[in-house]
Amino acid sequence: MASKKITEKGKDATGDTKNLDKGVQGDNAKTENLAPHTADSTGEFLTTNTGLKINDDQNSLKAGDRGATLLEDFILREKITHFDHERIPERVVHARGSGAHGVFKLYDSLAPVTKALFLNDTKTETPVFVRFSTVAGSKGSTDLARDVRGFAVRFYTQEGNFDLVGNNMPVFFIQDAIKFPDLIHAVKPEPDNEIPQAASAHDTFWDFISLTPESSHMIMWAMSDRAIPRSLRMMEGFGVHTFRFVNAEGVASFVKFHWKPLLGVHSVAWDEAQNISGKDPDFHRRDLWDAIDSGAFPEWELGVQIVPEKDEFKFEFDLLDPTKLIPEELVPVQRIGKMTLNRNPDNFFAETEQIAFHLGHVVPGIDFSNDPLLQGRLFSYTDTQLLRLGGPNFQEIPINRPLVPVHNNQRDGHMRQTINKGKTSYSPNFIGGNDPRQAKEAEGGFVTYPERISASKVRARSKSFFDHFSQARLFFNSQSDPEKNHITDALSFELGKVKTVAIRERMLAVLAQIDKGLAAEVAYSLGLHIPENIGEQLNQNIPADGDPADYASLQVEGSLSKSDALSMANTIKNSIKTRKVAILAADGVDGKTLNTLKSAIEAEGGIVEVIAPRLGFLTSVNDEKIHVDESLLGAASVLFDAVYVPGGTNSVATLAADADAVHFLNEAFKHCKAIAADGDAIQVLEATYFSKKIENDEGVIVRKNIRDLSAQFIAAIKQHRFWEREKPRKIPA
Ligand code: HDE
């Protein structure tokens, strides 16, 4: 999408006024739909909003050079007024986000299951915009909060926009939309003192969760390392709900959507996440931006799990229950295409902030299931945009406009952009030839899947939703030992911040339903016992006239005891692309080994930064000048994936005596990262607390020969982390 300069309102750089027409419906049908709205000020004069060239933007209009300021100053007033109105309400959830443009390319046609053209035509590249987010925090909160991540993708297809508004976890906390405001009120900062920001570790959240056993499965995910990703580029994405595909013959099947990152699924340590929040609260946003900016485009494969309609009741759980996933062992994920994010937004507000996702943005061939959470979302998203974006014309904002033409009889309202021609804005009409007209199904008209429903009108929940613990247990059992430890620690941390002991105890009773060992470890850490007989009091989600016995959790013994796809330990570990490696050095460093290792890392797509006691240049032992990227004061080990210490007598002596350098290494070891040192740099390692432990640690490589060292270091970085290091759990900070 080429950008076009707009110098004066309605005129492009050549003085052509053709852009004046761009608001007319039908003229916006081109793929460059965003272009007429972009403005590039390079080489242009400063103007007011009416295009008047401004002569003095430094001084307001005054009576004499010492004032007073005159009300007449329309330039001052226009500028300040606009500034006063710059903010819009942030999203009530998912306020903190980062976005990017990209493309989606289909591998093979899915015509047998869906008639959606962008999933049929392997030649089309569908433009996409993705917004990643955290859920609980405000717009300015840290990226590294323990939280679910939003993973919302808009496909600008040839049949209109399709929004896949998912998360990085495949299930959700609640089963019915009516509980969503309760969940969110509970997790947001507490209403009396607005504490804590972007954190679930407080009483109201766990109060709600402890009384809502349907959240058990999601709690296992949220307390796992999935909630603290290493990068937005290293997260899976899930549509969560079961959707419906419909083919050209009208045959429907159920479908679950997945995004599989080609860099694998990786996370950081919780202690590290908390440090990153201080050192660089924009860590994920910056990482995404830098990767795209450097041409290391993030990629995901789109996967689908397809269940024929006749198999709807074949599972031990209900496909409509959003607290359940379909284990990949039962229904494999077919990878059907690839999404590549290849362009950063030009303007955060205009694109990332103003994009208005909605589950109801679908195309023919994609339809909904009756999942009660999904059904509620179909109401919420448009409603929230009306408040957030200020009126009914938010679909006309460039980032929200589809690539295809929009024609209907909707008119007027705040900030209307479209200049509709003609006399008619109603249907049927004779004057306008009854246009715009309805499209037959064969002409691409959307026809809702005519699912047969015969039922009584009730406020109720299906009994098939009542097994709250089997999949929570399946998830926990599928984790590696370090992952299980991290879940135990996360629960101990979070519940440790809860002040009300009764809430802690009730949570222990919930955990005991999932795994007795887990509950016992958390109980130990909290200094409590698992209470007895709380089990039956757990579920408060019952109507006033309901009988608690009718709402008791069911315990269905699942046929699957373990699912490999649920553990990050089984993810791809074959690349160091975009991994950040710190080289600690000082004057007198062995420049040859430094450069050899740097080149080896960069050849594999890794990113290297030289960190030294001060900025500027280092002088190597051979008098070579080496550029310093960060000083030890400004750098932090938590912002890197691995660290290397080259030799050189003076450099090594300086670093061994530098507390920041030693701390850098200690922290990298604590966070289970790959560490390498030349044979004569061992003196620096000896200053660390872990120098005695390196013999048995695969992730710490100390060699004389730089070639072997490079190869082994790269192999270690590919492993991401050496979590086994934590086992004795005696790593000091
Ligand atoms: Fe959302 N959600 N949600 N949600 N959600 C919003 O819409 C809502 C749910 C998700 O980057 C809001 O535009 C209800 C599940 C993402 O702009 C709001 C319910 C999943 C984003 C809203 C849910 C999501 C949102 C706030 C329960 C995973 C960010 C701002 C019925 C499948 C989109 C906005 C972006 C945003 C409502 C549950 C994902 C208020 C009522 C389940 C990724 O409309």
What is 81-108 written as a DSSP string? HHHHT---PPPSSS-SEEEEEEEEEESS
Contact by Cβ (8 Å): 612, 644? no
Strands (E), 82-219: 97-106, 125-134, 149-157, 160-167
> Of ligand 1's atoms, which has the minimum distance to the CA of residue 132?
11
Asked if 627 is an active-site residue, the reply is: no
The CB density around residue 353, as the number of other CB atoms within 10 Å, is 20
Cβ atoms within 10 Å of 427's Cβ, excluding its own: 13
Nearest to 581 by CA among 598, 595, 593: 598
Q: Name which residue leads in pLDDT, 511 or 9.
A: 511
Report the range of poorest mean pLDDT among 22-36, 155-169, 300-314, 514-528. Answer: 22-36
What token pair was written down for 494?
A: 């979070």
d(CA 408, CA 494): 51
| Pocket of ligand 1 contains residue 361 by CB under 6 Å | no
Ligand 1 close to Cβ of residue 177 (< 6 A): yes
- pLDDT per residue as tens digits for the range 186-227: 999 999 999 999 999 999 999 999 999 999 999 999 999 999
Total count of residues recorded for the chain: 733
Choosing from 167, 344, 400, 420, the catalytic residue is 167
Question: Is there a single domain that holds both residue 276 and residue 322?
Answer: yes
Do 549 and 587 lie in a common domain? no
Residues 271 and 154 in one domain: yes
> How far apart, in Å, do the first and last CA atoms of the chain sit?
49
Indicate whether 534 pLDDT > 80: no
Closest CA to 614 of 626, 597, 622: 626
Question: Residues 552, 680: one domain?
Answer: no
Q: Are 128 and 234 members of one domain?
A: yes
Decide if 120 is catalytic.
no
Atom of ligand 1 nearest to the CA of 381: 44
Please, what sign has the CA dihedral across residues 629, 632, 638, 642? Answer: positive
- Tokens 């001060």: give the residue: 614
If one counts the domains in the chain, the total is: 3
Going from the Cα of 374 to the center of ligand 1, the distance in angstroms, rounded, reads 10
127: nearest Cα among 98, 97, 100 = 100
SS3 272: helix
Among the three residues 363, 380, 400, which one is the final residue of a domain in this structure? 400
Query: What are the backbone angles phi and psi of residue 3, rounded to the nearest 5°?
Result: -90, 150
Q: What is the pTM of this model?
A: 0.94
Task: Tell whether ligand 1 has an atom less than 6 A from the beta carbon of residue 386.
Answer: no
Percent of the chain predicted with pLDDT > 90: 87
Same domain? For 316 and 360 the reply is yes
Instruction: Report pLDDT for 147.
Output: 98
d(CA 267, CA 149): 13
Please list, in sequence order, all residues whose beta carbon lies within 8 angstroms of the beta carbon of residue 216, skipping any fewer than 6 positions away.
Answer: 323, 468, 469, 472, 510, 513, 514
Q: Would you state the pLDDT for residue 540?
A: 67
Share the mean pLDDT of the chain: 92
Highest mean pLDDT among 8-12, 441-445, 556-560 belongs to: 441-445
CA-CA distances (angstroms) from residue 482 to 52, 575, 700?
64, 22, 19
Is 251 in the same domain as 119?
yes
Q: Whose CA is nearest to atom 32 of ligand 1?
A: 166
Dump pLDDT digits (tens) for 660-689. 999 999 999 999 999 999 988 999 999 999
CA distances from 21 to 12, 14, 25, 303 (A): 12, 16, 9, 41
- Max intra-chain CA distance, the chain: 91
Domain boundary among 358, 380, 400: 400
Query: Do 496 and 393 share a domain, yes or no?
Result: no
Contacts of 487 by beta carbon, 8 Å cutoff, 6+ apart? 220, 223, 224, 476, 479, 518
The answer to whether residue 476 sits within a structural domain is yes
For residue 537, the enclosing domain spans: 469-569
pLDDT tens-digit series, residues 391-425:
999 999 999 999 999 999 999 999 999 999 999 99
614 and 527 within one domain: no
CATH number assigned to the domain comprising residue 563? 1.20.1370.20
Separation between Cα atoms, residue 3 and residue 37, nearest integer Å: 8
Find out whether the beta carbon of 156 lies less than 6 Å from any atom of ligand 1: no
One domain, residues 537 and 621: no
pLDDT at 730 (0 to 100): 55
CATH at 316: 2.40.180.10
Same domain, 561 and 612: no
